[in-house]
Amino acid sequence: MATEWTDYCAFNGDADGLCALQQLRLAGELSDDVRLVSGVKRDIDLLRRVQAGRGDRVTVLDISHSQNRDDTQRLLEAGARLRYFDHHHAGEVPQHPAFESYIDTAANVCTSLLVDRYLQGQHYRWAVVAAFGDGMAGPARALAERHGLATAEVAALEELGLLLNYNAYGDSLADLHFDPVALAAELLPYSDPLAFALHSPSFVRLRAGYAVDMVAAQGQQPWREGPGALLYRLPAEAWSRRVNGVLANQLAVAEPCKVIGLLSAKAGGGWSFSLRVPAGAEFPADEFCRGFATGGGRARAAGINHLDDDGLDQLADRLLSGYPRAVAQQETQQ
């Protein structure tokens, strides 16, 4: 359905952003000719690429308002309407009649769960996929149980979430198996994510790529470690950039009482950093990462987009001293 105004949607290219977009499109909440803006997972200042004007609508999915504040203000001043769904640190949110905020930074929600709430569960299976992909297995299983999904269905949705999230990591689109905008087009015909997993060649390609990359990632040993934290350093290889987020999540599951930091060498020099902290850690992951110029995220999972070589020791020292113990109560009980 064509509109007299232009519909834009800026979405994070990971599982959470993709599944939030899918839910809104299936529910008819976006126009058929919506203009999509996305990128690799760490490309989050996406609103700089949106040139909306009076009467246009911009829907924002899973990108931090605090890192898009200036462009949010620019778009509002230009007369655009904004709907903002997100669970990352937001900073001061605009009090403006054209700004709809669906921002919730609680540790047990992701953007797709917020969209599921907004849509009153119309396409909840996609929210389950997203929560698994975002490393929120507890909320994902709770939502699946509430709707009576079978064990095999839950396992299939978990794998899909993992693979969609895996696809988003890289320094550039060239590192990815699919441009997130192209992957969104692949998902669109499927109201049921299980049908996508069963019938789509794209799913087969993601599964095969993931298997190869995770073989390369096996056997990683900590570069620096302390009583409460482990810090890993990956080589400058495309596979390491692709597995960055998934590997950080897996290492966190293997060491549930410790903070996990993962450095990945960037193709053009420097490093990116992923951080996972357990509930009850000394301070939130996003608070730690915002101590660096390009850092951000959420309470349990955050990252830094760029660190120079000479900043690695400073990062390691801050990490090990900032988390001398991660979850003292749980460690005492073990």
Domain end: 142, 174, 209, which one? 209
284 in the same domain as 196: no
Per-residue confidence band for 192, with pLDDT thresholds at 50, 70 and 90: very high
Are 25 and 53 in contact by the 8 Å Cβ rule? The answer is: no
Q: Are residues 195 and 62 in the same domain?
A: yes
Query: Does 215 have pLDDT greater than 90?
Result: yes
Domain boundary among 176, 209, 242: 209
Q: Are residues 251 and 184 in the same domain?
A: no
Kindly state whether residues 76 and 123 are assigned to the same domain: yes
Q: How far apart are CA 25 and CA 122, in angstroms?
A: 11
Look at residue 100 and tell me if it is in a domain. yes
Mean pLDDT, range 73-93, rounded to an integer: 95
Q: Is the pLDDT of residue 333 over 70?
A: no
Total tally of structural domains belonging to the chain: 2
Q: Are residues 188 and 248 in the same domain?
A: no
Are residues 240 and 183 both part of a single domain? no
pLDDT tens for each residue of 314-327: 999 999 999 988 76
Q: Which pLDDT belongs to residue 3?
A: 61
Residue range(s) defining the domain that contains residue 329: 224-333
Q: What is the pTM of this model?
A: 0.88
For 292, what's the count of Cα atoms within 13 Å in the CB-facing half-sphere?
27
Q: Three-state DSSP class for 332?
A: helix
Cα pseudo-dihedral 119, 125, 129, 131, rounded to 10 = 50
CATH at 310: 3.10.310.30
| Residue 181 clears pLDDT 50, i.e. is over it | yes
User: What CATH number is associated with residue 136?
Assistant: 3.90.1640
Three-state DSSP class for residue 35 = strand
Question: Among 209, 238, 258, which residue terminates a domain?
Answer: 209
Taking each helix axis from N to C end, the angle separating 137-146 and 111-118, rounded to the nearest 10 degrees, works out to 30
DSSP characters for 54-66?
TT-EEEEESS-GG
Asked if the structure places residue 217 within a domain, the reply is: no
Q: Are residues 57 and 191 in the same domain?
A: yes
Determine, yes or no, domain membership for 147: yes
- The answer to whether residues 244 and 105 belong to one domain is no
pLDDT digits (tens, 9 = 90+) for 99-144: 999 999 998 999 999 999 999 999 999 999 999 999 899 999 999 9
CB atoms within 10 A of CB 108: 15
Q: What is the pLDDT of residue 297?
A: 85
Length of the chain: 334
**Domain shared by 33 and 173, yes or no:** yes
**Residue 253 in domain:** yes
Query: Quick one: 145 and 181 in the same domain?
Result: yes
Mean per-residue pLDDT of the chain: 93
**Distance (Å, whole) CA 122 – CA 156:** 19
How many C-beta atoms lie closer than 10 Å to residue 259's C-beta?
Answer: 26
For strand 57-61 and strand 224-225, is the pairing parallel, antiparallel, or unpaired? unpaired
pLDDT in tens, 278-301: 988 888 999 999 999 889 888 888
Residues 83 and 40 in one domain: yes
Segment 137-165 mean pLDDT? 97
Instruction: Give the integer Cα–Cα distance in Å for 161 and 17.
Output: 11
161/19 same-domain check:
yes
Is the pLDDT at 153 greater than 50? The verdict is yes
